[in-house]
Structure 1
């Protein structure tokens, strides 16, 4: 189901389900991240649901995004993202220990970050402009997107940009994702159906 107009990058609250028909396969990225074949097959068959709670931290006013993610019959994880670009450790059974940071970013800032002269290209998070493709530039407050970057102890990077795109004539919540390890890059889109507030 398309995202209602009330859903923006500053209000992702609600329940969303990954639309596997519209999304790209995640198996190549999970393989690069060291997830075993059997578990990858279970994830590919599962219904992936995320429940998002987005709110300002009462002490700092920094936006916090809490995500409960479940893959039916396989696993569930909880992620806490504070949009202040400070690195925080997270550990789960699927990916092991990672260090992640997140922030709001404009499309022009994103393009500079992933340009040939930008940090993301120089540090080999990305190999091209995929993260900046297809966004509805006027969507959300001041054209904001969410940037999330993770460095894993296992030696891979995962960089995501969240926002809204036109998919088949419908406005959809989308994550453009790049998983990188050494000189290998996997680019893919995760496209979500809105379920409920």
Structure 2
């Protein structure tokens, strides 16, 4: 289902389901992040739902995302404070990471892949820029970075929530686009 016409990155609260037919395959990214074959296969087969709560607290923007997989299985949790401050976190899937997030104009993103293709309202409001790095020494096995830009695009004639992923590891650079169908207003994950 298409995202509401009035939805922008200024408030992306809602429930979104990954459209795996339209999204790029993320198996190689997950492999480079150290996720084993069995778990990658389960993720590939599962329906992934994002429960996004976008709010302000004490004047600071926050985006909390709880992920669930088919059958209500709990996935990863992303609690983003949109202030470009580094925060350490131990992710259930990826292990120890350091992340930071901010609102940014498309032209100020660090590479063209992250900055192109967005709807004008996403560009005007600013995109959400997420930067996550594995908490390992740079140059060591398993070191990776994942930059994302979040916004809205028209995909197959429908407005959809999209994430551009620019992933780097010691082996390669991988670009992927994750596309989500709107499934309704925000609801707390099970």
- TM-score using structure 1 length: 0.86
Aligned to 1:49: 49
Aligned to 2:139: none
Aligned to 2:62: 64
Superimposed CA distance per residue, residues 5-60 of structure 1 (whole angstroms, 9 cap, x where no aligned partner): 12110111111100001111110111111111111000000000000111111x2x
Aligned to 2:28: 28
The offset of 1:133, in angstroms, is 2.3
Q: Any unmatched runs of 5+ in structure 1?
A: 115-128
Residues 1:152 and 2:131 aligned together:
no
- TM-score using structure 2 length: 0.89
Q: Any unmatched runs of 5+ in structure 2?
A: 136-141, 186-190
Superimposed CA distance per residue, residues 108-131 of structure 1 (whole angstroms, 9 cap, x where no aligned partner): 111xx22xxxxxxxxxxxxxx221
The offset of 1:75, in angstroms, is 4.2
The offset of 1:93, in angstroms, is 2.6
The offset of 1:143, in angstroms, is 3.6
Aligned to 1:37: 37
Aligned to 2:150: 162
Aligned partner of 1:196 among 166, 184, 187: 184
Q: What SS does the aligned partner of 1:22 have?
A: coil
Aligned partner of 2:124 among 124, 131, 142: 142
Query: What's the RMSD between the two structures over aligned residues?
Result: 1.4
Superimposed CA distance per residue, residues 144-168 of structure 1 (whole angstroms, 9 cap, x where no aligned partner): 1000000102410010000011111
Paired residues, number: 178
Within 2, Cα distance between the matches of 1:152 and 1:163?
24
Q: What SS does the aligned partner of 1:139 have?
A: helix
Runs of 4+ that moved beyond 6 A:
none
Q: What SS does the aligned partner of 2:121 have?
A: coil
